[in-house]
Structure 1
Amino acid sequence: MDAFLLKRIVAELSEGLRGALVSKVSQPQDREIVLTLWTGREELRLLVSAHAELCRIHLTTRRVPNPPSPPRFCQYLRRHLAGMRLAAISVTPFDRLVRMEFFSSRPDAEHDRTTLFAELYGRHANLIYANPDGLILEPLRTISPEESRIREVAPGIPYRPLPKPERTFLPEITPADAERIWSMGWEGLARVLQKEVSGLGQELAHEAAGRGKGGAVDLYAAVRELVRRYEEDDFSPGIGTLPTGKKRLLPFPCPEAGFVDFSPAPSANEAADLYYGETARNHEDAVLRQQIRSRLSALLRKERHKLENVSGDEERLEEGRKGGELGETLKANLASLRKGMAEFRGIPLDPAKTPVENMTRYFQQHKKARRAAEIVRKRKREVSESVYYLESLESQLASASTREDLLAVRQELSASFAPRKQGKKKPVKATGRTVPPQVEEHVFRGYTILLGKNNVGNDRIVKELAAPDDLWLHTQGIPGSHVLIRRTPGKEIPDEVVEEGARLAVFHSKARGSRNVPVFLAEARHVSKFKGAKPGLVRIAKYRTLNVR
């Protein structure tokens, strides 16, 4: 949020919120607070964010769930700010420092006046609550002298604003400054403007560069026009669209900055709420996707490591199985063996053991390997199924396009691989919604084709929706969706419909884009779940293979 838009937003807030009562304080995100304000006519929610990428202040209609327990900063504001009234709100000219002053007439109030400073400076953003004497009562982020040589932020010390950057202040720019900036334009005029002039955001820097591309005189005139619009409150806020489809929040139309469309808003607060609401949702989805991806990657590394260990056990068992043959050789040649021999016909012997003891040792190795073989095979099958299942979730995550899809993957992952908690195990009641089975329906040449969009949906196809004569398809050994082609009784399914089902199976799998992909084709009667199978895993009794080119 740049200084221009911020001025307009603060002006609207000052007009509509002066005297409003702070009835509630919440902190839905780490660096974001929401003040619920009663104006005497209606209840409004003021969002103040110190997020590095989304720092802003505006009225919001979006509701985000609060954490189970409020963070420290929220607790402090609830104790001291709730119940006070907003006396004034202002912003430093051509800057992003917002000052909110509160007062209280209650006799039990610890402070009759306090100030909340919102420093909306990107990665340096912070929220600082101070008393009438300017002493910091509580900051959102504490900054120690070791973290910053510029300024310390901690309770009990005087509040000091961040020092002004060593750049030309926007309203003080001169023709000589414009000439100097123009001469450096080979780096990119918009970039140089942002680098050399404080108070100018990215979009307005591009607008000034576009208007001033004719020379230093034009550049100076473009910058002065921006200063005029700020000083005269000449704003018409809205959302601009770039040729790439990306949207930006603007204080007024900026055609020279490359925007091909501009959607005006009734107010700056409404424009900000609309823009940042969508941006925040996208950011939350990206964070959620990354969290799921990290959890999946960690589990896959763990399960693949287990698989390597089990494969090593198999190799060691092969050595143990050879003990039977070696024992029989020693048994047939007991008369030739003597205690103290180190080997016989290439068979290692223990010199401290008698011939019979060496023979018995090899027979015991063979017996032990036979007993362990079935255990190792079963364990390898279980771990292989876990790896395959996690890879199927990885494929679902890659194709997830909505928040509901992401939540479905997370819920399924949590249900199958619940994190272990330290300490005594307590019975936990299942809470929350179950993972919804997502099944998509297609119609091709009059035939209905069902497609599982997640593992629970795949299970529903196999367990509930499939009739014995229907055709089931799935990529061979590759995680992906189950595909079911409905068969009309007494009629055969044409080859082109089967081929379409196979193409869908490949398209909705990790083999998307590959060539010559093998696909299982089976009647649904031959596909079943097995005991202990995770969602989406089945056993196929009879099938044939198609190759999708």
Structure 2
Amino acid sequence: MSFDGAFTHAMVTELQQTLTGGRVSKISQPYPNEVVLTIRNNSQNYPLLLSAHPTYARLQITRIPYANPATPSNFTMMLRKYLDGSILNSLEQVENDRIVRLAFNTRNELGDQETIALTIEMMGRHSNVFLIEQSDNRILDLIKHVNPDQNRVRSLLPGAIYIAPPKQDDVNPFTTSANVDDLVRDYPNEDVLAKQLQQTFQGLARDTALGLAGALHATDGSVEDRFTHFFAQFNQPVPTLNRLKNGKTSFSAFAMPTPNLDDTQTFATLSELLDFFYQDRAERERVNEQAGNLIHIVRNELKKNRSKLKKLQQTMAETNQADSFRIKGELLTTYLNQVKRGMTEITLPNFYDDEKPLKISLSNQIGPSQNAQKYFNRYQKLKNAVAYVTEQIRLTQTEIDYLSNIQAQIELASPKDINEIRLELQQQGYIRVHRKRGSKKPRLQISQPEKFHASDGTLISVGKNNLQNDKLTLHTAKKTDIWLHVKNMPGSHVIIHSADPSDETIDEAANLAAYFSKARDSASVPVDYVQVKRVHKPNGAKPGFVIYEGQQTAYATPDAELVKKLRS
């Protein structure tokens, strides 16, 4: 099921029961299109996410941790000004549309009571969150300011009067069944009936309409009773995750007939369902939003260095021909009397190859001895290039390995890890930092690695970027702890905080090392493990690069469910 009007109805019903009457205790905007209001109610804190993301717009309570930006946005400051400490008086859906209005009771600067509305429109790329003065319906601020040239229907700027999106000529299925009997009679085909239901009733996505069409074509009870029962289930949902045979997943407010269904999983609340469903998808989008320029920089640097390596390898291949130039020079010198000025080529006996004749190209612009010297010069140039080219190939390959590691870290990163990856790229000179004259270099703050616990309770730490990896392996871990890393592939440093871990703990840590690596989607991934005292960082090495000896190797197949279990 999509997050359509019907699912919004179920979510609003759930949130009304949980949040109404609660007080706003904290307001954050961790990502550009998303705000989180922490509402305290019945002695519990509920982080309410309002997302205007163009792909994953939604409204839910979320337990996924997030990191706040160092400087709050203007929208955050406006929300704090008007809503901090306010009481959530009501939470209502507009008709059966994907629009939800939250009304808060608060007091203005003079101490007078007033009502402020927070309205979220979940409409794909047109999604938005509005802070509205209820008395005159004036927009105080909104999460996305839209230029009048982009929307001529209504003004989407602070100070404008809030006008709801144009209303469609559909009916609310939660208040009327309209002419559903006629539709079922006229359209016996479920697929065609689903299209007609979408055109008749408000807020039905394709999958919801297909589920309704299937229910209406059942044989028990009247059509109107089946219609009423279908929508009554949204008031008492059974949050369901549907796993399909093609590996994809979908969600629904309750179990519905789903093509190619392989398995289902139920959750206690709709919010828990959405957290599970959106965690990886939304996290990747958030990372891409925050790391867009980093991805571009790393991709360009990789392209440049790979092109450089290819040219160096071609040059190295040419050095293998150096001896052929020396031989030609020696043959020309030996048979110099046979070489005449103006010749463009000559064939001479080759005493290095059983007297097999060798054809030698000549320049007709220079004399015989100069032609011989030209071959000797080319030979010497290539021989001198070997040491330089060899070193350049080594340095370029090191650069490619480092950038590939950074690229893998971005792919595996959570949004809170991006700032440290950006800082590292600044330190390494890939990103230019413009500081005012006289300003101090910002102090480096490295966050803590992610913590996991093995089945026997042993602490396992996982570095999520090179700065964390260096700090974890070289400074935090004890010399007797166990260090793990995927073999010959970019990945996280993993530390088992134990000198003598069980085989099960080593297997679980190896699974973490494989999961937080470039090999996440592979099977039977080799993972090296060794005591920390055998891990060393060469002088001048890039961040995150270490060498080790005396390792053993375990094999692990990354398991997301195991990672989740170890994280809890």
- TM-score of Structure 1 vs Structure 2, range by shorter chain: 0.5 to 0.7
| 2:141 paired with 1:138 | yes
| 2:364 paired with 1:366 | no
For residues 427 and 413 of structure 1, the distance between their equivalents in structure 2, rounded to whole angstroms, comes to 12
For residues 480 and 87 of structure 1, the distance between their equivalents in structure 2, rounded to whole angstroms, comes to 48
1:311 counterpart residue number: 313
For residues 437 and 318 of structure 1, the distance between their equivalents in structure 2, rounded to whole angstroms, comes to 52
1:161 deviation in Å? Answer: 0.9
For residues 76 and 492 of structure 2, the distance between their equivalents in structure 1, rounded to whole angstroms, comes to 45
| 1:13/1:89 contact within 8 Å kept | no
| 2:183 paired with 1:179 | yes
Among 412, 418, 432, which residue is 1:422 paired with?
Answer: 432
Q: Against the structure 1 CA distance between its residues 370 and 182, is the aligned structure 2 distance closer, same or farther, given a 3 Å change threshold?
A: farther
Q: Against the structure 1 CA distance between its residues 424 and 202, is the aligned structure 2 distance closer, same or farther, given a 3 Å change threshold?
A: closer
2:159 counterpart residue number: 156
2:240 counterpart residue number: 240
| 2:187/2:193 contact within 8 Å kept | no
Alignment RMSD, CA only?
A: 6.1
1:58 deviation in Å? Answer: 4.0
Supply the AA of the counterpart residue of 1:187.
D
Among 259, 275, 280, which residue is 2:273 paired with?
Answer: 275
1:379 counterpart residue number: 392
2:217 counterpart residue number: 213
Structure 1, unaligned runs of 5 or more: 266-270, 442-451, 467-473, 483-505, 515-526, 542-549
| 1:47/1:58 contact within 8 Å kept | yes
For residues 129 and 380 of structure 2, the distance between their equivalents in structure 1, rounded to whole angstroms, comes to 71
For residues 15 and 42 of structure 2, the distance between their equivalents in structure 1, rounded to whole angstroms, comes to 20
Among 344, 363, 369, which residue is 1:349 paired with?
Answer: 363
For residues 41 and 491 of structure 2, the distance between their equivalents in structure 1, rounded to whole angstroms, comes to 54
Q: Against the structure 1 CA distance between its residues 126 and 156, is the aligned structure 2 distance closer, same or farther, given a 3 Å change threshold?
A: same
Supply the AA of the counterpart residue of 1:281.
Q
SS in 2 for 1:305: helix
1:373 deviation in Å? Answer: 0.9
TM-score by length of 2: 0.63
Percent identity of paired positions between Structure 1 and Structure 2: 21
SS in 1 for 2:214: helix
Q: Against the structure 1 CA distance between its residues 191 and 375, is the aligned structure 2 distance closer, same or farther, given a 3 Å change threshold?
A: farther
Q: Against the structure 1 CA distance between its residues 213 and 427, is the aligned structure 2 distance closer, same or farther, given a 3 Å change threshold?
A: same
| 1:240/1:259 contact within 8 Å kept | no
Supply the AA of the counterpart residue of 1:157.
A
Among 36, 50, 53, which residue is 2:52 paired with?
Answer: 50
Instruction: Kindly provide the CA deviation profile for residues 380-434 of structure 1, in whole angstroms up to 9, marking residues without a partner as x.
Output: 2343455567778889999x8x979x979x9799689956122579867654258
| 2:46 paired with 1:32 | no
Instruction: Kindly provide the CA deviation profile for residues 317-353 of structure 1, in whole angstroms up to 9, marking residues without a partner as x.
Output: 45665443343344345556676666666433262x5
Alignment of 1:326-345 (within 5 A): 326-332=328-334
1:76 deviation in Å? Answer: 3.2
| 2:243/2:250 contact within 8 Å kept | no
Supply the AA of the counterpart residue of 2:145.
T
| 1:481/1:509 contact within 8 Å kept | no
For residues 342 and 39 of structure 2, the distance between their equivalents in structure 1, rounded to whole angstroms, comes to 93
1:139 deviation in Å? Answer: 1.9
Q: Against the structure 1 CA distance between its residues 315 and 26, is the aligned structure 2 distance closer, same or farther, given a 3 Å change threshold?
A: same
| 2:38/2:48 contact within 8 Å kept | yes
1:274 deviation in Å? Answer: 2.0
More moved, 214-223 vs 132-141? 214-223
Alignment of 1:106-125 (within 5 A): 106-107=108-109, 113-125=115-127
1:235 deviation in Å? Answer: 2.6
1:280 deviation in Å? Answer: 3.9
Among 446, 454, 466, which residue is 1:432 paired with?
Answer: 446
1:11 counterpart residue number: 16
1:197 counterpart residue number: 201
SS in 2 for 1:306: helix
Instruction: Kindly provide the CA deviation profile for residues 71-99 of structure 1, in whole angstroms up to 9, marking residues without a partner as x.
Output: 33223333454465555443223233222
For residues 328 and 262 of structure 1, the distance between their equivalents in structure 2, rounded to whole angstroms, comes to 80
| 1:392/1:479 contact within 8 Å kept | yes
1:144 deviation in Å? Answer: 3.6
For residues 127 and 33 of structure 1, the distance between their equivalents in structure 2, rounded to whole angstroms, comes to 9
2:529 counterpart residue number: none
Supply the AA of the counterpart residue of 2:8.
A
SS in 1 for 2:120: strand
Supply the AA of the counterpart residue of 2:240.
G
SS in 2 for 1:372: helix
Supply the AA of the counterpart residue of 1:30.
P
Supply the AA of the counterpart residue of 1:421.
I
TM-score by length of 1: 0.65
1:5 deviation in Å? Answer: 1.0
Instruction: Kindly provide the CA deviation profile for residues 268-316 of structure 1, in whole angstroms up to 9, marking residues without a partner as x.
Output: xxx2332233334323454488779967766654443222111122244
For residues 256 and 338 of structure 1, the distance between their equivalents in structure 2, rounded to whole angstroms, comes to 92
Q: Against the structure 1 CA distance between its residues 64 and 221, is the aligned structure 2 distance closer, same or farther, given a 3 Å change threshold?
A: same
For residues 93 and 77 of structure 2, the distance between their equivalents in structure 1, rounded to whole angstroms, comes to 26
Q: Against the structure 1 CA distance between its residues 308 and 184, is the aligned structure 2 distance closer, same or farther, given a 3 Å change threshold?
A: farther
Instruction: Kindly provide the CA deviation profile for residues 245-265 of structure 1, in whole angstroms up to 9, marking residues without a partner as x.
Output: 957352xx5466789878574
For residues 114 and 395 of structure 1, the distance between their equivalents in structure 2, rounded to whole angstroms, comes to 45
SS in 2 for 1:16: coil
SS in 2 for 1:12: helix
1:66 deviation in Å? Answer: 0.9
Q: Against the structure 1 CA distance between its residues 181 and 59, is the aligned structure 2 distance closer, same or farther, given a 3 Å change threshold?
A: farther
More moved, 283-292 vs 141-150? 283-292
Instruction: Kindly provide the CA deviation profile for residues 139-190 of structure 1, in whole angstroms up to 9, marking residues without a partner as x.
Output: 2123345545654522333321111234454244433664268616352655
| 1:411/1:434 contact within 8 Å kept | no
For residues 58 and 528 of structure 1, the distance between their equivalents in structure 2, rounded to whole angstroms, comes to 47
Q: Against the structure 1 CA distance between its residues 453 and 101, is the aligned structure 2 distance closer, same or farther, given a 3 Å change threshold?
A: closer
Alignment of 1:282-321 (within 5 A): 282-287=280-285, 300-318=302-320
For residues 490 and 45 of structure 2, the distance between their equivalents in structure 1, rounded to whole angstroms, comes to 50
Q: Against the structure 1 CA distance between its residues 246 and 14, is the aligned structure 2 distance closer, same or farther, given a 3 Å change threshold?
A: same
| 2:121/2:127 contact within 8 Å kept | yes
1:127 deviation in Å? Answer: 0.6
Instruction: Kindly provide the CA deviation profile for residues 38-91 of structure 1, in whole angstroms up to 9, marking residues without a partner as x.
Output: 679776543322234443334455542112222332233334544655554432
